[in-house]
Structure 1
Amino acid sequence: MRWRQGRRSTNVEDRRGSGSGKRRMPGGGGMKIGGGAGIIVLLIGMYFGVDLSGLVGTGGSTTGLSQTAPQSSGQSPANDEATEFVKTMLAYNEDVWTPLFKQFGKTYQPPKLVIFDGGVNSACGYTSSAAGPFYCPGDYQVYIDLNFFRELQKMGAGGDFAQAYVLAHEVGHHVQNLLGVSMAVQKRQRSVSKIESNKLSVLTELQADCYAGVWAHHAHKNNSQLLEPGDLEEGMNAAAKIGDDALMSAAGAKVRPDAFTHGSSKQRQEWLYVGLNTGDPNQCNTLS
């Protein structure tokens, strides 16, 4: 990606080295994950997740997890390349979604990006770095431990566009929150079975994938050919690597479609492509 000449967003808070990772539970406790299903959810969250606590209840956190978090380097430079990269990608997201919302008579309220290491407290509770990047609907903020990019590389989903896809996916959840999708899904999930709730989660995640594609379509068009040869392949490869079926297989677990919460590799690739190809948010109607 030709990103280095892009502007840097100032809507970023760097909490690395601030002690923000100290575990603190919000009032009312939080969602606990454990057992076999919890391992599957953890793997999905670790490699490309969103903090779903905001969709399945008020408050919540991914507690009781045994996965080891990515190791921090112990440094928190304010201008290292990964930091500059996510600041630039956030700016590109702001520059795409602001006019798109305006076209539909709405005002885009950009999310704040919080960079942390080890773990972080949010309106959704405490979350370990092991859960991966996430969006908290309760405070309108995206959270990321930049060591996560190393984990992407290890699982064969590296590359700058794959990393940009990670951030754009989380911003896609912010778009859903602004449009009222998150609240509608949350309300519906409370009245259906676990299997039906999982299906709703899949549709929500696929829409965020499609929105990530919409972002890339316009960012490339508006910024002097931002994407380079090979970038789209990186994105499709990342979508395949973080499909529920791929993650379950990699974990040695039986592939159970009824336990999917993010979608299969094929589904994630298909919806990312819809957004990339059309650039039209109205085409991302997975929940219709």
Structure 2
Amino acid sequence: MSRSAPTWTSGERGLVRLVAELAPSVHNTLPWRIVCADGARTLSLLARGDRALPQHDPHGRDRLISCGAALTNVRLALCALGWVPEIDLLPMPVTPGEVARVVVVERGEPIDEDVVRYLAVSYRRSHRAPFLETPVDDATVRRLAAHGVDGVEIRRLGGRYDAAVLAKLLSHSAAVLRLDTVYQRELNAWTANDEHPVAGAGVAVLPRRDAALPWAGLVRRSTAIPDRVILTDRLARECLLLVETPDDGPLDHLRAGMAVEEMWLTAVGAGLACAVLTQPLQVPEVRAGLVEELSLNGFPQVLCRLGYPIA
């Protein structure tokens, strides 16, 4: 079968961009742009420098993780349209800002797992509340970890020791970020005056003053930091997954974002809720502490909380 294909239809362009916008992104900034080529079914995903967060994300790690998540949604949309996409990360020749190039190869039926993930795209939300006490079983966790992205490991954290390490490090990062005036100013600039902001409008309005880690997610000046023993107990009762990569370059960040979105959508399809934490990992001593105290072989990119939501 020929690898050439006619140009995109307006419906295909619109669907791909819409589904990409439903991907999670740092501070809900949507730090990417999709350019569909004329004359062929090829598209480029470009990182947007104008959506950079120099205080939260000085190295652009979270921005590329966000782009990776959007890329997963693009892949699922193309599969749902009946196309077989080929993805080239950090393609050559280099185009400024281009982090991925997607080429439609041929027609094909999506696999069942991709159909489930695609249907979950519009239902995915960040969960900023407690979970039910119902545990997430090991078989489900194995399904979530089977993301199919090369070089990314998703490992379950568990036991009192892991929870105590996380409680110590999360408490430290919260204390640091809560007092960082410049960081708080940037966070406020990307806070929408709405509990449910539209895509690209920033994060939700300030949470309740009694919201506390790990439920609150973002750390603000009003975020209450719980006692470390209480926080350890909370974390020990939750399903916590750590996304880890062998290196810490742009390719690793893109792949981590792709894997996180694959996992998250699989979780939604299984009736689970999820929230991702990257903010604490931007504090260097917290990231280094995770590597040392959890004996990681690579670099932690994302911490995920999963569980069954309270109706």
TM-score range, shorter chain: under 0.3
Query: Which structure has greater strand proportion?
Result: 2
> Based on CA coordinates, which of the two structures has the bigger radius of gyration?
2
Q: TM-score, normalised by structure 1?
A: 0.24
Query: Which structure has greater helix proportion?
Result: 1
